[in-house]
């Protein structure tokens, strides 16, 4: 598929607007990706729309809704239009039937099954289609793109550490080292991912609520997940407190240790995974179950070091989001950002670096070997 | 001193040019800072100059040299003009005598003795002076500014580590983890600082040459320094090989352990520091001696972890330059970026973040408590 279309500066502005509209669906659209669309004639915007939630109209249909006559218009859409009749009509048909003369696409659909079918259909119907590879458009569908090619959810791993690589100056101490700005940055990440996950040890030590504060009204329920690799957690932990808009907290537990989780029965949604004789958690099996049985397509993991290390060594981590606080913590008791084996030598490609308040956030993806 | 002068966009461009000219003196001007100047009339550049080396003409005089009539001109100068007659006339007098009608200053002279005397003189002579605080102009004089307020050289500490905080996957192994782009970045840092320093252990393990490659012709000799905290180093180490343009390598050694360094006598410039009964290196005393007895005003320290840790815990580090490679190294034998005690809790202010090839470089200064 040609992705080097020549776009004019105005084309880029309208596409940017489509991406901005798409962002309004962040957190709501799963298992679909967020998509936005803008209908333009002679440099004027006639209609705008975005995909609100799975099952509702797609972005293109929403953008065309209030346009009496779309013939001869250009439609800017953040993601390649679908060619698939599901709960809603295929967008490629909607666009062609409306008489649209040109479609500008911000990013290709990463679903290999799609294979450009919508674009081919439009071109066959005489619609000019310009496909580009817009960085923001692509970033917005990253979780969707990874999860459609896999049997497990997309996993982003977020870590906050000191410049010299430690998360606290001593074990079992709750210590916030990053800034309020970084907290708000992570808040937005929590909104954007279907679920937020921590390890059992983090629940024991930090006892986090793991909610979105200040609140953000999401069309889908928030999901909190605790991965219990070997031990269990206290049913009185704050993470199990019922919160409106939040599903019952999921506990990922090894299928061979059911008795260990008996006291969580009424409190949590315990999801047993792996073989019936496994007393330690098979993370891959647990994540697959989370997707298959709870419909979770994307997970933001917020630590701790054991779970983070295991996600990396098991190659279950799609993106690292690494916040670095401007302080040093080295000392005999300081806790390193990652724990466990099988990490050394893993290579990444950094693709985002930004200052977030006084902190720096570096983000990247692992090199596939 | 007023530092919020209103500069027009053209003012800023000419000032930028002055800073660019100043940069040509980087590495050559110590103990003076690099300074550049531009003479402008009616929006046209009539003269340009920079300070080549200590003892030579100052930037202002060089810029005015080829201007027949400087009356009514504006002179943009990266650093506040001096008011001090030394080996060359005071720049404030040179400017006033030339009939310059306006001077735009990129940064104030951090030397407390200066106290704006040149600016006051110019204003008394009827010259309009606009002082701004240009980030690049200020950065260029940072080593000078710190060292004039101290009895020791300015110390920049450069560390290269993996994202998770390690410098190698196992001890005593030489392993380059950062990129060629980062190596060239550090090359420029070596040029900009009077001396480059490493610890004895780095000499033993890595046996570096510590030269500038590809070569950069500098008007001052390069200086290489080995800090020997307790043990000595092999006289056959590459760092002692004579290189044209490089001074005999300085070894900082404790004054109470002279016999330990006997075999370095002909090979190195051994500088004993501290009390006569000290068998371990007093870093502060050693750095002060390096400045007092060898005229070194700025030092780039390139590790290792022990020396780096000691510089930080002793509050002898003025700037951290922290290169982060896109890989993970955690493992049982991995060597952390810093060693030693007294580091935990030190706070920084990050003021520069940049991508350098595949790596990220974060730089900052310590918060003064």
ipTM, two decimals, is 0.89
Residue A320: list chain B partners with CB under 8 A.
Answer: 163
> What is the reported pTM?
0.92
Residues of A in contact with B330 (CB under 8 A): 309, 336, 338-339, 343-344
pLDDT-derived band at A174 (thresholds 50, 70, 90) equals confident
Catalytic residue among A16, A48, A60, A80: A60
Q: How far is A189 from chain B (nearest CA, A)?
A: 21
List, as ranges, residues 151-170 from B with C-beta within 8 Å of A: 161, 163-166, 169
For residues A163-190, average pLDDT: 93
Q: Which of A319, A344, A363 to mutate to test the interface with B (most CBs of B within 10 A)?
A: A344
CB contact under 8 A, A330 and B338: yes
How sure is the predictor about A112, in pLDDT bands with cuts at 50, 70 and 90? Answer: confident
Q: Using omega within 30 degrees of 0 as the cis cutoff, is the peptide bond preceding B259 cis?
A: no
Contact A309 B324 (CB under 8 A): no
**Is residue A4 very low, low, confident or very high in pLDDT (cuts 50, 70, 90)?**
low
CB B106 within 8 A of CB B15: yes
**Residue A64 pLDDT more than 90?**
yes
pLDDT given at position A185: 97
pLDDT of A121 above 70: yes
Q: Which of B186, B197, B187, B252 is nearest to B224 (CA)?
A: B197
Q: Which residues of A touch B338 (CB under 8 A)?
A: 164, 328, 330
The model's confidence at residue B12, banded by pLDDT at 50, 70 and 90, is very high
Mutate to test the interface with B, among A165, A305, A368 (most CBs of B within 10 A): A165
The residue behind tokens 């080295």 is A330
More confident residue, A344 or B368: A344
At B3, the pLDDT band (50, 70, 90 cuts) reads low
Contact A91, A60 (CB under 8 A): yes
Q: Which residues in chain A have Cβ-Cβ distances shorter than 8 Å to B336?
A: 164-165, 330, 336
Read off the pLDDT of residues B241-272 as tens digits, 9 standing for 90 and up: 999 999 999 999 999 999 999 999 999 999 99
- The reply to whether residue A163 touches residue B320, judged by beta carbons under 8 angstroms, is yes
Q: With beta carbons less than 8 A apart as the criterion, state whether B37 and B63 touch.
A: yes
Mutate to test the interface with A, among B171, B182, B315, B330 (most CBs of A within 10 A): B330
Considering only the beta carbons, identify the residue of B327, B349, B355 that sits closest to A346: B327
Interface of B with A in 305-364 (CB under 8 A): 309, 312, 320, 322, 324, 326-332, 334, 336-339, 341, 343-350, 353-355, 358-360, 362, 364
Say which of B324, B331, B354 has its CB closest to residue A343. Answer: B331
CB contacts < 8 A (A, B): 114
pLDDT range class, residue A197, cuts 50, 70, 90: very high
User: Dihedrals φ, ψ of A23, to 5°?
Assistant: -60, -25
Inter-residue contact B257 to B273 (CB < 8 Å): no
CB contact under 8 Å between A345 and B327, yes or no, is yes
What totals of helices (H) and strands (E) does chain A contain, helices first? Answer: 10, 16
Task: Supply angle C-alpha A283, A287, A293, rounded to 5.
Answer: 140
Work out the percent of chain A whose per-residue pLDDT is above 70.
98
With an 8 Å Cβ cutoff, are B326 and A166 in contact? Answer: no
Contact predicate A341/B331, CB 8 Å:
yes
Q: Name the catalytic one among B16, B20, B48, B60.
A: B60
Task: Assess A68–B contact: CB distance below 8 Å, yes or no.
Answer: no
Nearest Cα to B258, choosing from B248, B273, B238, B245? B273
Contact at CB, A337 and B165, closer than 8 angstroms: yes
Quick check: B326 and A349 CB within 8 A? yes
| pLDDT at B84 exceeding the cut of 90 | no
Q: Please indicate whether, in this complex, the C-beta atoms of A353 and B338 are within 8 angstroms of each other.
A: no
pLDDT at A293 over 80: yes
CA distance B326 to chain A (A): 5
Active site residue B60: yes
Max distance between CA atoms of chain A, in angstroms, equals 71
How far apart, in Å, are the Cα atoms of B238 and each of A148, A208, B214, B234? Answer: 55, 54, 17, 9
A341: chain B residues, CB-CB within 8 Å: 331-332
């Amino acid at each position: 598929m040609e992705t080097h279309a020549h776009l004019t500066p105005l084309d880029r502005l309208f596409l940017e607007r489509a991406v901005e509209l798409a962002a309004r669906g962040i957190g709501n659209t799963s298992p679909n990706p967020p998509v936005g669309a803008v209908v333009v004639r002679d440099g004027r915007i006639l209609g705008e729309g975005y995909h609100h939630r799975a099952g509702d109209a797609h972005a293109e249909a929403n953008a065309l809704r209030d346009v009496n006559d779309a013939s001869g218009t250009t439609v800017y859409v953040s993601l390649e239009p679908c060619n698939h009749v599901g709960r809603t009509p295929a967008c490629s048909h909607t666009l062609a039937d409306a008489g649209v003369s040109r479609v500008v696409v911000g990013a290709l659909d990463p679903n290999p099954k799609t294979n450009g079918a919508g674009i081919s259909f439009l071109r066959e119907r005489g619609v000019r289609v310009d496909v580009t590879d817009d960085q923001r458009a692509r970033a917005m569908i990253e979780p969707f793109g990874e999860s459609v090619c896999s049997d497990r959810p997309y996993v982003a791993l977020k870590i906050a550490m000191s410049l010299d690589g430690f998360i606290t100056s001593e074990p079992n101490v709750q210590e916030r080292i990053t800034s309020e700005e970084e907290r708000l940055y992570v808040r937005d990440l929590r909104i954007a991912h279907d679920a937020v996950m921590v390890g059992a040890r983090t629940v024991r030590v930090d006892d986090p609520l793991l909610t979105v504060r200040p609140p953000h009204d999401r069309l889908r329920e928030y999901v909190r997940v605790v991965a219990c690799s070997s031990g269990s957690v206290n049913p009185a932990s704050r993470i199990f407190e019922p919160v409106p808009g939040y599903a019952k907290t999921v506990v990922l537990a090894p299928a061979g240790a059911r008795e260990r989780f008996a006291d969580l029965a009424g409190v949590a949604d315990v999801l047993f995974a792996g073989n019936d004789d496994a007393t330690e958690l098979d993370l891959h099996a647990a994540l697959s179950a989370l997707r298959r049985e709870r419909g979770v397509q994307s997970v933001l993991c917020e630590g701790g070091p054991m779970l983070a290390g295991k996600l990396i060594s098991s190659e279950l981590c799609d993106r690292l989001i690494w916040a670095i606080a401007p302080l040093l913590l080295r000392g005999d008791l300081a806790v390193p950002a990652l724990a466990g084996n099988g990490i050394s030598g893993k290579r990444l490609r950094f693709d985002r670096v930004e200052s977030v308040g006084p902190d720096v956030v570096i983000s990247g993806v692992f090199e596939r070997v």
